[in-house]
């Protein structure tokens, strides 16, 4: 199938991917989904018992994971050196044409790889901070659904940016994910609160009538 730009068709029937590779990938995604749901429930129980301090959870979950990167130290140094050896950015080619300004001079001496690494780390920090903030204010089910929708949006955005095409099955799955998220949002944010408000009003009116009698 020919596509626009330089992408290729994102289809489950691609001849480049064998059934065994597809099964392994699907299994990994399924296990990751179960682990993510379990972690959400665990965080919810932790917040219930010790208080919802999402900043503390964010700090310790990253601080305690640092020792696990020690065996990968040589690989990380190698990757850092490769990024540091990339050519610097050209500020005149940016959409803002920074030119000789301070930021332009700073970018002209910053390796391209390190700059993109900083941008990626910043967006990752914003993402994980938002996830922890949502987990402190919502249930584990809400967090899981929000994360699923976020992953789908990221997938569709990357698909569009790299010029790929989604197969009809993938478009159907995307519609099901978005539809399920919208249904859950309508149920928890509109229907159930409205029923609780109506029941409270009826109960309040019943109490007032009982006092009048």
The predicted pLDDT at position 153 comes to: 81
DSSP designation for 110: S
This model's pTM is above 0.85: no
Q: Which residues of 74-87 are buried (b: 16+ CB within 10 A; e: fewer)?
A: eeeeeeeeeeeeee
Angle between helix 112-137 and helix 19-50 axes, rounded to 10 deg: 50
Separation between Cα atoms, residue 154 and residue 147, nearest integer Å = 10
Yes or no: say if 43 and 53 are a contact pair by the CB < 8 Å rule.
Answer: no
Give domain limits for the chain: 25-43+76-140
User: Which residue in this structure is represented by tokens 């109960």?
Assistant: 203
> Does the structure show a pLDDT above 60 at 2?
no
Q: Which of 67-71, 105-109, 110-114, 192-196 has the largest mean confidence?
A: 67-71
* Full DSSP string of 66-96: GGGGGGGHHHHHHHHHHHHTSPBP-GGGSTT
């Amino acid at each position: 199938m020919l596509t626009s730009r330089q992408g290729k068709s994102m289809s489950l029937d691609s001849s480049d991917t064998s059934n065994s590779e597809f099964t392994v990938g699907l299994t990994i995604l399924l296990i990751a989904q179960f682990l993510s749901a379990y972690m959400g429930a665990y965080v919810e129980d932790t917040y219930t018992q010790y208080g919802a301090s999402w900043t503390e959870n964010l700090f310790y979950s990253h601080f305690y994971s640092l020792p696990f990167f020690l065996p990968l130290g040589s690989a990380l140094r190698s990757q850092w050196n490769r990024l540091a050896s990339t050519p610097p950015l050209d500020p005149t080619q940016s959409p803002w044409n920074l030119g000789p300004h301070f930021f332009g001079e700073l970018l002209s001496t910053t390796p391209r790889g390190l700059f993109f690494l900083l941008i990626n780390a910043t967006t990752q920090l914003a993402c994980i901070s938002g996830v922890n903030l949502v987990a402190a204010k919502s249930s584990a089910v809400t967090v899981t659904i929000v994360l699923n929708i976020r992953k789908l949006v990221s997938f569709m955005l990357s698909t569009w940016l790299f010029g790929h095409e989604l197969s009809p099955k993938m478009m159907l799955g995307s519609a099901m994910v978005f539809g399920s998220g919208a249904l859950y949002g309508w149920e928890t944010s509109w229907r159930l609160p409205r029923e609780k408000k109506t029941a409270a009003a009826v109960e309040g009116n019943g109490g007032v009538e009982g006092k009048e009698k």
